[in-house]
């Protein structure tokens, strides 16, 4: 076989890498679907918590499933241990993405199933990180502005709690709704280069999910 007989797909252009049921995008038609649900219907009728459940479980939650999901978000996974807050304080002058990556790495130290990449374990890790990331971002924002971090409010939704931790003020419903819809729309990421590299790292090296996230830059 010579180089002339091999078609080189530079940059993996026109190469099918994987398949997914998670989302479907038709850019020309302006259509986006999450697990078969049109994004317009999702954005109008579903909260971020419902969409997060959909993304993690492949189906929209029942009322009881959503209630348990929201309660776990609010009460068990939003709070950061003191050692994690100390990490944020020690690098408070760094770029927010650097702080986020470093903090996620530090959080892996308390994961008793760090190298377990089974479906159940990855789902649990994903759930905890989704709940904790807004607290990390808000805590860093407050600290670098020489303000005291605001603890999570277990009575608020995911979006409203994020705004509350940033401002120390319960946000108007209109503001939290806007953030909620923004989070819903950003659930779809496609197969850009960094998630692709993350998938390769997990598949080929069996590293922890926390470590695979450290290369993310956005």
At 7-52, the pLDDT tens digits run: 766 666 666 555 556 767 777 777 888 888 898 999 999 999 999 9
- How many residues appear in the chain? 218
Q: How confident is the model at residue 211 (pLDDT cuts 50, 70, 90)?
A: low
Query: 64-74, pLDDT tens digit by residue?
Result: 999 999 988 88
CATH of span 20-213 = 1.10.580.10
Alpha-carbon distance of 64 to 192, in angstroms, equals: 35
For the chain, the C-alpha Rg in angstroms (whole number) is 19
- The domain segmentation of the chain, as residue ranges, is 20-213
pLDDT of residue 218: 46
Tell me how many degrees the CA angle 82-84-88 measures, rounded to the nearest 5: 115
Mean per-residue pLDDT over the chain, rounded? 82
Residue 5's CB is within 10 A of a number of other CB atoms, namely 6
What are the b/e assignments for 63-80, b being 16+ CB within 10 Å? Answer: eeebeebbeebbeebbeb
Q: Which of 97-106, 158-167, 188-197 has the highest mean pLDDT?
A: 158-167
Alpha-carbon distance of 183 to 77, in angstroms, equals: 18
The label of the residue with tokens 């990855």 reads 122
């Amino acid at each position: 076989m010579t180089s002339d007989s091999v078609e080189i797909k530079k940059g993996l252009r026109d190469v099918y890498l994987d398949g997914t049921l998670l989302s479907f995008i038709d850019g020309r038609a302006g259509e986006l679907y999450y697990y078969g649900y049109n994004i317009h219907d999702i954005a109008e009728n579903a909260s971020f918590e419902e969409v997060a459940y959909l993304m993690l479980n492949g189906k929209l939650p029942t009322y009881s499933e959503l209630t348990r999901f929201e309660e776990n978000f609010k009460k068990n996974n939003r709070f950061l241990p003191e050692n994690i807050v100390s990490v944020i304080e020690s690098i408070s002058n760094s770029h927010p993405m650097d702080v986020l990556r470093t903090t996620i790495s530090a959080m892996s130290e308390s994961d008793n199933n760090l190298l377990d990449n089974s479906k159940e374990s990855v789902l649990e890790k994903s759930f905890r990180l989704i709940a904790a990331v807004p607290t990390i971002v808000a805590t860093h924002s407050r600290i670098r502005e020489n303000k005291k971090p605001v603890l999570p409010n277990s009575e608020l939704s995911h979006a409203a709690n994020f705004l509350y931790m940033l401002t120390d003020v319960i946000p108007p419903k209109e503001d939290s709704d806007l953030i909620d819809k923004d989070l819903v729309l950003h659930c779809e990421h496609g197969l850009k280069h960094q998630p692709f590299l993350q998938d390769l790292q997990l598949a080929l090296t069996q590293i922890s999910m926390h470590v695979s996230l450290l290369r993310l830059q956005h």
